[in-house]
Amino acid sequence: MISSKRAQIEVTFNWVYVLIAGAVILLFFAGIVVKQKAASEDNLSRMAMNIMDKIFAGARAAEKTKDFVDISGLADYTFYFDCDNEVSTYGLKGYSNPKEDEVHALFAPLELQGTRMILWSLPYKLPYKAMDFLFITTDRTKYFFVGQDEFVEEFLNATQDNTDKRKSISAEAVISLEDITPGKTFQIRIVDVEGSIQNKAQLPSSFLEKLKGYGDNKVTAVSFTGTNQANFFQKEGDHWKQLNSNPIQIVSLGGERDAAKYAAVFAGNDKVYECNMKKAFKRLALVNEVYGGGNLANDISKPGGKLGEIIAHYVEYYQAHPELQVTSSCQSYLDEVAKSMQTHQQKTLACTSLPEKCFEVMDSADKLKKANINLTEGGDCIPLY
């Protein structure tokens, strides 16, 4: 009888023991699964961003070419891009390990989703190349151009491949907002080349009807005015909301493939645009130093860098061949270049600290460009660039 009772206790104890041990083992494995899931997601985000970083570097190097990167494996993920205090940040939304870039200019919508990422690099010249701008978009972001001018034609020619639609940026020219059909896109960007979009302007009802299902932040616009300025807008309910308080100057020398203007088309908003442009101006000041020396902005009497060496070369050359000095005008052309270079560096430095001064860089860059043309065409001298 005693033995049976003892056996009963032992059996119960064994079951309790087995249950506790089983629960502990189960919890242990559940913990491993949870930790592993978090670690693999973290790893995915880190790996994806490292690969993106490499792809961006390659795309920047392949100037003026468009790269189409298959991201169908990440089609359900949202990429985000931001720029603050001259630091670009990009990553996968909801995941850690974003990448930061303090040097390169990346112009992209604030969020991106799609199966193909499109990367396009254009050199930003003022008047010589300061850096490469990288434009980032996807196949599910559509650009609608409202109005007609040379820029629209140029953009569409540059981005449409009639032989292979997969190698095109999704873009279309329309007459008005009513003609827009978004299709199966993640977001739309309206590029108004006539400056017709105004702050708080009501959106046409037929257009609003087609935008059902799009969040306000998925419908954005950039509007170019006649004075080469840009305003950024976002849909807010049934009207446009202007994002920038003052018009943003497009600082460029114009012409084909105007990188600063293209950048405005691809930039998510005014903040991203200005933040990346600041990086470009900072780099321009450094490139100016290579051309004109570190002290050029303060002292024109002793240009350094490439210009200083060219001037020194001609001084030496004319000392050895004084008879040529009468017929050649290289020195006077070089003086003109030195003056333009000094003004250009002063304006660039002013622009890096006071963005409202940046429009002055266009004038100084134009003068430097003309002075450089005079060097080669007028004087048959060694050009600055």
Partner 1 sequence: MVLTSKKAQMHMTETIGVLFIFFILVAFGLIFYYKYTGQAIKEEHRQMVADRAVKTALEVFTLPELACTRGDAELEDYCVDMIKVRHLNETFNIHLKDYYFKLFGYAKIKVAELYPNTGNEYTLYDKKRPTNETFEYEASYFVIALKDEITDMERTPYSFGYIEVGVYATSLED
Single out the residue of 114, 125, 230, 272 in contact with partner 1 (rule: CB under 8 A).
125
Site for partner 1 contains 129 (CB under 8 A): yes
Using the contact rule CB under 8 A, the part of the chain among 9-17, 224-232, 235-243, 307-315 near partner 1 is 307-315
Can you read off the two tokens belonging to residue 65? Answer: 């070419």
Site for partner 1 contains 294 (CB under 8 A): yes
Rule CB under 8 A: which of 137-176 touch partner 1?
none
**202: which strand partners?**
239
Task: Write down the least CB distance from residue 281 to partner 1, Å.
Answer: 13
Residue 61, CB-side half-sphere exposure with 13 Å CA sphere: 6
Can you read off the two tokens belonging to residue 86? Answer: 């001259």
Site for partner 1 contains 131 (CB under 8 A): yes
Single out the residue of 46, 306, 339, 370 in contact with partner 1 (rule: CB under 8 A).
306
Using the contact rule CB under 8 A, the part of the chain among 3-11, 75-83, 139-147, 376-384 near partner 1 is 376-384
Is there a contact between 52 and 90 (Cβ–Cβ < 8 Å)?
A: yes
Site for partner 1 contains 299 (CB under 8 A): no
User: What is the Cα–Cα distance from 368 to 365, expressed in whole angstroms?
Assistant: 5
Using the contact rule CB under 8 A, the part of the chain among 89-97, 200-208, 334-342, 375-383 near partner 1 is 375-383
User: What is the Cα–Cα distance from 228 to 248, expressed in whole angstroms?
Assistant: 9
Single out the residue of 109, 268, 305, 379 in contact with partner 1 (rule: CB under 8 A).
305
Site for partner 1 contains 22 (CB under 8 A): no
Mark out the alpha helices in the chain (DSSP H runs).
2-61, 150-159, 205-210, 259-266, 270-292, 305-320, 322-327, 330-353, 359-373
**136: which strand partners?**
119
User: What is the Cα–Cα distance from 341 to 339, expressed in whole angstroms?
Assistant: 5
Is there a contact between 102 and 152 (Cβ–Cβ < 8 Å)?
A: no
Nearer to partner 1, 231 or 345 (CB): 345
Closest among 110, 119, 103, 128 to 59, alpha carbons compared: 119
**106: which strand partners?**
134
Single out the residue of 286, 315, 324, 354 in contact with partner 1 (rule: CB under 8 A).
286
For helices 270-292 and 330-353, give the axis angle rounded to 10 degrees: 150
Single out the residue of 293, 342, 350, 364 in contact with partner 1 (rule: CB under 8 A).
293
3-class DSSP state of 102: coil
Nearer to partner 1, 114 or 293 (CB): 293
Using the contact rule CB under 8 A, the part of the chain among 119-127, 155-163, 190-198, 212-220 near partner 1 is 119-127
Rule CB under 8 A: which of 93-112 touch partner 1?
102-103
Buried b (16+ CB within 10 A) or exposed e, 359-374: bbbbebbbbbbebbeb
- Contacts with partner 1 by CB under 8 A: the residue count is 42
Site for partner 1 contains 332 (CB under 8 A): no
| CB-CB neighbours of 173 under 10 Å | 17
DSSP 8-state code for residue 202? B
Rule CB under 8 A: which of 183-242 touch partner 1?
none
Nearer to partner 1, 270 or 336 (CB): 336
Site for partner 1 contains 55 (CB under 8 A): no
Task: Write down the least CB distance from residue 143 to partner 1, Å.
Answer: 25
Site for partner 1 contains 287 (CB under 8 A): yes
Site for partner 1 contains 57 (CB under 8 A): yes
319 burial type by CB count under 10 A (0-12 exposed, 13-18 middle, 19+ buried): exposed
| Phi-psi group of 86: left, alpha or beta (phi > 0 → left; psi -120 to 50 → alpha; rest → beta) | left
Rule CB under 8 A: which of 312-331 touch partner 1?
313
Site for partner 1 contains 40 (CB under 8 A): no
Site for partner 1 contains 372 (CB under 8 A): yes
Site for partner 1 contains 282 (CB under 8 A): yes
Which residues bind to partner 1, rule: CB under 8 A? Answer: 50, 53-54, 57-58, 60-61, 63-64, 102-103, 123, 125, 127-132, 282-283, 286-287, 289-291, 293-294, 304-306, 308-310, 313, 369, 372-373, 376, 382-383, 385
